[in-house]
Structure 1
Amino acid sequence: MVERKKQMTRDKVSRLVNWGHWFAFFNGFLAMIVGARYLSSVGYPETIIGWGYLAISTIGHFSFLAFIVYVVFLFPVTLLLPYSKILRGYAALVATLGLCILLYDTIIFDDYGIHLSPFAFDLAWTDLNALLKSTSYIATPTAIILIELTAANFIWKRIEKLEKKQLGNKAIAFVGICFVSSHLVHIWADASDVTQITRFDDTYPLSYPATARSFMESHGIEGTNIEDNRYQTKSRQLSYPVLPLQCKAPSLIKDQPNVLIVSVDGLRADMVNELTMPFLTQYQLDNKQFTEHYSGGNQFKTGMFALFYGLQGNYGDRKEFYHTPPVMTGALKEAGYQQAIFLPEDNQRVFENRSIFNGLSVFSNSSEEGSAQTDIKNVQQFINWSAEQGSHWFSMVNLSAPKHYDTPIGFLGVETVKPHIDLKPAQKVLYNQYRQSLFFIDQQLQQLFNHIDNNTVVVITGTHGQIFSSNPSEVNQDLSPGNVKVPFVMHLPKTSSDTVSYRTSHYGVVPTIMSQVLHCNNSITDYSSGYSLLQPSEQNWVYIGDSSTFAIYQNDEITVLDRHGKYRIYDIEYKKRLKQKLSAPELIQVMREGRRLYNQ
């Protein structure tokens, strides 16, 4: 009798477990339907291979998530409380909650481009009214729980028929094949740079597709490293510019000025003084000097992207901008400008196979003697090029000696001084070597400007700042003012000198050239994240960095975030870590600005 009861209990539990598997399979299917909303955010595939991968990836991923929820929340209850009515009601509630969380995640992802995390939840909770724009947040959960209860009862009544047909093993095999195949296909796509597949890497929550690149590199094997244009597509329809440009016809502009931007890698704002850079110090006094100016990032890539596009650095990480040239250089070309850029070869390779320099003649140099000698070559090459131009021109000259603390062999610099900031002994050596490099660059600037007439619009700034460290990893991760606050001086013909004390950034260079030189009447938001340098910004924050790690500079604090939602808050001097929460309203603006140019 006891054995019979035990057998009946085992049979009942076995039946409930079997029912749980089918219920999980059903919810995996519902999760796929909800997950389709992610595709409206990132765009649909345009090739058969893209659709094929997306199909097996979706089936495998959401079925796996549903099974994990079953194992964690339902299976233990099945063993502890093997009562079908209780279990069906409980399972319906768990499934409803899971689908609602997934649905909420699709809303967060569509609006901010990130998945749910403590950081994203805090952000979304503050912006809840804007995210939940209707009463569907009441109707939808109600509808879901009704579907779940109906499905739970439907499957329970037919569980014996399903067991007799022995479909369970076939369903598990099918899902397993999809799951494994999707990872194998992704390994191939990652090794072969098939972007039609790899662009979906961050689309689904808790998705970590297998990759081959790290394994191949560790064994000395290289992938194709070739951009597979056959499978490239836009994740969304990019609207850049948002509206067609409306600029004054070149024939209506009298005395079109030449435009020159000199961008120095590693040029700190607090190091320009009469002893170290006498020429630049005097040039600032004679023109418009911006004392609170920030780069777009702490590296060449982000700083240069901000100068040419006037957009936040997270746009630069998107594949669309690999093949989209800047609006500014396109407008300059339409206005008849000859265009050229002079930069070190190492910096040119950063943007290899990208469109940032489209329409420009690219002159790159290198020297075995170091970056200072390379800068000498670039300055002389620019002088020769500008002298040969018969019409108006636009040019960028990029110098990099300060970034590498370099000076020419035999160069006589300035005397050693006590650092104006607290530094360790090894850093003090770098500090004074850095000053020698700045003194050298100052001489190069003077030589360059001896060949520039007064009718040229001139910008002199730093691509990024500099911290005194020989550790590249430390330099690249540091978003302190020393690494991002740069000097900025502008010469506008027929404009008096003055000092601008409101905060500006590299994002304002493009709007200023577009409005002052090309006389474009578009709203600046049609093509830029910034504002004209000649007027205070309406934003009380500046975005600095890329999509991996970035900082939000506000009036009284600096917030540093990474892609996983981890954040740290510092005072404005970056010296003290503050124990306070994120300022959500500004961060919401930041997130939306980083996706504004994509059609919803």
Structure 2
Amino acid sequence: MNEQTHGRNVRFAYFGLVYLVLLWINAANVDFAAAAASGYASLLFLVNAFVSYNALYLLPALLLTWLVARPSLWRRLRLPRAAVWAPDVTAVLTGALTTLFFYANAKLHALYGMFINGFVINLLMTPGGIESLGGSGSSTIGFALIALAFFVGHAALFVALTFGARRLSSLPAGMRRLGRPLIVVLLLSILSDHSVYAYTSAVGNKPEMLELTEGVPFYVGTTARTLFKKLGFEVAAQDKSLRQQGGGHLQYPAKPLEFTKPEKPYNIVWLVSESWRADTLDPEIMPATWAFAQKAQVFTQHYSGGNGTRIGIFTMMTGLPGTYWEAFLKGRRGVPIIDVLRQQGYQMSFYTSAKFSYPEFDRTVFSQVPREQLHEIDAPLAGWEKDRQNVSDLLKFIDTRDPARPFFAWMFFESPHARYYFPPESVIRTPYRDDINYATLDRDELQKDIVPIKNRYLNAVHHLDGQFARIIDHLETHGLLENTIVVMLGDHGEEFMENGYWGHNSTFSDPQTRTPLILWIPGRTPAVHDRLSSHLDVVPTLMPLLGVKNPPEDYSSGYDLFSGRQRDHVVFSDWSRVGYKDADVKITLSEDVGPLGKRISGPHDEKLTPQRAQELFQSKQPQLVRLMQELGRFKQKSRHEP
């Protein structure tokens, strides 16, 4: 057998083994037990989808290797004889990259319940995104070693097949010609998979079977409702009123804002913390903040507008659902409350221990703020060190301002962001993890070590309390609390496996979305409010105090928390989903409300039977339709848009 034929056989065997590695990596995402419990038909459907999709994942590597292996390519490009190694090198590199990608993808899914998507790509590509992950040196080294191990392992495998498996030359001719039959089998597998999906999706008789495919990375279902209807099948009704309203031009605010500058305008100090979950506001973890809260307005059932920093800060600064983020980013639109403050001559200064560029706040909510007023620290300091430095700079701004003019100070704290940052003197809970190595962290380790990891978080929140105290004490010492509004809240919460995940950005669970809200308004009697409130309500509550005459409906989807109006639901959103929560239910809807487009639980994430979930979903149709209409209320479609 000549070298060319031997090389082709080696590559054939190599990609066969790579395929087995892919099956092993991605099997961790798929719930085969649930499929078996659902019946043999469901199990067969899932296994077929899993097997065929893992073959599809290899197609780019196979096609590129096949192209490089064409002798005509060498002759046309007049490549040197050493180019005969190019197909083998291409096979090893593409095989290693493919398995490494899906290893990272599976790890992401295990920890956060998501596959690599637009959010992850945005995080990697946007300046400041990588830094926001909070990885340590050990994590970086770990990732580098894992990547190196993949490439070395694949190279060693290929070398072993080349020099230690000469038996490949004795393979029967039929075995060496398996390529075309395998392609036919793959096409038939894909056709049957998508035919079953299309049929089940159209008739709607077994949606739980389709849900099984959520564990298959990047699975795309096929729909053919019109075809099945023409063939005489009874097609399930489809409610298009629950689709999110996309497109359109931003028309915001709905009406120009009118205001009368107060005779004695309030100063405003707005303090936002990363990952500050609601139940940490207690006398042990945050004694200073707790004591201050007893003098202020505390909202105990407060929810962020999302489960991540982007939407959390966007919703609190605009009073709008996070679904408007893209329109603001595209139009470089700022927020009305800052427009009002600028027109009233406020001195303003903004501080972050992260980056204003990630998420893109410098191109959205703070896009109209002069760059010299946006302060971030470029030095390689820990999150707690940046918080301390920024607090010192904020206090200096207050001390050196023009006392004849009101001021607005805004700060974003980083201490409670994973890896959770704190100095030794802030330790109140032990044992705690010395470090969190993302490269080696897996679900089993999380389950085992979640208490030490959470203790690390609580120590970071205790450090946050000390920084809040520095600001409050400074305002009180200088007599500024008498005419300063103070806002204190988290961008979102943080989960510690209460519902199966760690961190945030994965679900709309209570631990990921509930945050404290403390409002200090001079002269207002202290009170604890147990009613539902949202980040969307913060701006509508502050605007009247700034002399704005417009009703909240002109510039927000929120309520003035002191107007007497009772909120009956809150809304969440993230990169591609919208959530609704009221006293009865929590519903998550994806962009395309199809058979996999909704998740239903109790209001505090309680599991429901399928029958009870469907009953609640049907009973909430009017509220959901109104929600979808609200998501598009500040967008105006052009004549050419449907």
TM range (shorter): 0.5 to 0.7
The equivalent position to 2:474 in structure 1, one of 440, 448, 451, is 451
Q: 2:363 aligned to 326, 345, 354, which one?
A: 354
Q: Secondary structure at the match of 2:505?
A: helix
> What code does the residue aligned with 1:511 have?
P
How many Å separate the matches in 2 of 1:489 and 1:424? Answer: 33
CA contact (8 A) 1:375 1:399 kept: yes
Deviation at 1:478, TM superposition (A): 2.0
Alignment-derived partner of residue 61 in structure 1: none
* Distance of 2:313 and 2:543 partners within structure 1: 17
Deviation at 1:374, TM superposition (A): 1.2
Shift in Å, 1:317: 2.3
Q: Cα RMSD over matched residues?
A: 3.4
Question: Any idea what the Cα deviations from partners look like across 1:455-506, whole Å, max 9, x if unmatched?
Answer: 2100111111011269999731121010110011111011110111111111
Q: Note the residue ranges of structure 2 that are not aligned, 5 or more in a row.
A: 1-197, 199-224, 230-234, 433-445, 638-642
Partner in structure 2 of residue 567 of structure 1: 598
The letter of the residue matching 2:460 is: S
Report if the CA contact (8 A) 1:543-1:552 is conserved.
yes
Please name the residue that 1:558 is paired with.
Answer: 586
Q: 1:348 deviation in Å?
A: 3.7
Pair 1:488-2:517 in alignment: yes
Residue aligning to 1:468: 496
2:264 to 245, 255, 258: 255
Q: 1:345 to 1:269 in 2, by over 3 A?
A: closer
Shift in alpha-carbon separation, 1:269–1:319, aligned structure 2, 3 A: closer
Quote the offset at 1:366 in angstroms. Answer: 4.3
Q: CA deviation at 1:425?
A: 3.0
1:274-297 deviation digits (Å, cap 9, x = unpaired): 111101111111111111111111
Q: For residue 503 of structure 1, what is the aligned residue in structure 2?
A: 532
Q: In 1, Cα distance between the equivalents of 2:431 and 2:585?
A: 31
Q: CA deviation at 1:347?
A: 5.0
For residue 633 of structure 2, give the secondary structure of its aligned residue in structure 1: coil
Shift of 1:369: 3.6
1 CA distance for matches of 2:226 and 2:320?
A: 37
Shift of 1:392: 0.6
Task: For residue 272 of structure 2, give the secondary structure of its aligned residue in structure 1.
Answer: strand
Q: Distance in 2 between the 1:383 and 1:448 partners?
A: 7
Per the TM alignment, residue 411 of structure 1 is displaced from its structure 2 partner at its CA by: 3.0
Q: 2:239 aligns with which of 107, 110, 122?
A: 122
Partner of 2:457: 434
Following superposition, the deviation at residue 322 of structure 1 comes to 4.3
Tell me if 1:528 matches 2:553: no
| More displaced 10-residue stretch of structure 1: 260-269 or 461-470 | 461-470
Pairwise CA distance, 1:345 = 3.6
1:376 corresponds in structure 2 to 388
Moved more, 367-376 or 466-475: 466-475
TM-score, normalised to structure 2's length? 0.55
Q: Contact (CA 8 Å) 2:384, 2:423: kept in 1 or not?
A: no
Change over 3 Å in CA distance of 1:472–1:345 after alignment to 2: farther
- Deviating 4+ runs (over 6 angstroms): 469-474
Q: Aligned partners of 1:590 and 1:534: how far apart in 2?
A: 23
Aligned length, in residue pairs: 379
- Give 3-state SS (helix, strand or coil) of 1:339's partner: strand
* Map of 2:636 onto structure 1: 599
With over 3 angstroms needed to count, the CA separation of the structure-2 counterparts of 1:408 and 1:538, relative to structure 1, is closer
Distance 2:259 2:609 in 1: 46
2:255 to 243, 246, 250: 243
Closer/same/farther in 2, CA of residues 382 and 247 from structure 1, 3 Å limit: same
Pair 1:268–1:355, CA change in 2 (3 A): closer
CA distance in 2, matches of 1:238, 1:410: 48
What letter is aligned with 2:239? D
Structure 1, residues 105-129: CA drift from partner, whole Å, max 9, x if none?
A: xxxxxxxxxxxx979x23649x9xx
Q: CA deviation at 1:530?
A: 0.3
**C-alpha distance in 2, partners of 1:473/1:434?**
12
8 Å contact kept, 1:337–1:394: yes
Cα deviation, residue 521, structure 1: 1.4
What is the SS of the residue equivalent to 2:259?
coil
* CA deviation profile, 1:354-402 (whole Å, cap 9, x unmatched): 1311225101124434211111111111111111111211121110111
CA–CA distance in structure 2, aligned partners of residues 118 and 489 of structure 1: 48
In the TM superposition, residue 561 of structure 1 has moved relative to its aligned partner by: 1.8
> Any conservation in 2 of the 1:122–1:584 contact (CA below 8 Å)?
no
How far 1:544 sits from its partner (Å)? Answer: 0.9
Structure 1's unaligned 5+ residue stretches are 1-71, 73-96, 102-116, 128-201, 204-234
Rate the CA distance shift 1:386–1:474 in 2: closer, same or farther, 3 A. closer
C-alpha distance after superposition, 1:201-242 (max 9, x if no partner): x98xxxxxxxxxxxxxxxxxxxxxxxxxxxxxxx53432111
Equivalent pair of 1:370/1:406 in contact (CA under 8 Å)? no
Deviation at 1:429, TM superposition (A): 1.0
TM-superposed deviation, 1:525: 0.8
Identity %, equivalent residues: 23
CA separation of 1:247/1:550 partners in 2, compared to 1, >3 Å: closer, same or farther?
A: same
Cα deviation for residue 563 of structure 1 reads 1.5
Q: Which residue does 1:365 correspond to in 2?
A: 377
Letter in 1 for 2:275: G
Q: Cα 1:430–1:571, aligned 2, differ >3 Å: closer, same or farther?
A: same
Partners in 2 of 1:541 and 1:412 — Cα distance? 37
Q: Structure 1 residue 350: deviation in Å?
A: 1.3
Tell me, yes or no, if the aligned pair for 1:330 and 1:359 is still in contact at 8 Å: no
CA contact (8 A) 1:502 1:536 kept: no
Match of 1:399 among 396, 400, 413: 413
2:306 corresponds in structure 1 to 297
Displacement of 1:450 in angstroms is 1.8
Q: Letter of the 1:543 partner, please give it.
A: V
> Match for 1:435: what amino acid?
L
CA distance in 1, matches of 2:598, 2:484: 43
Q: 1:477 aligns with which of 489, 493, 506?
A: 506
How far apart in 2 are the matches of 1:400 and 1:428?
21
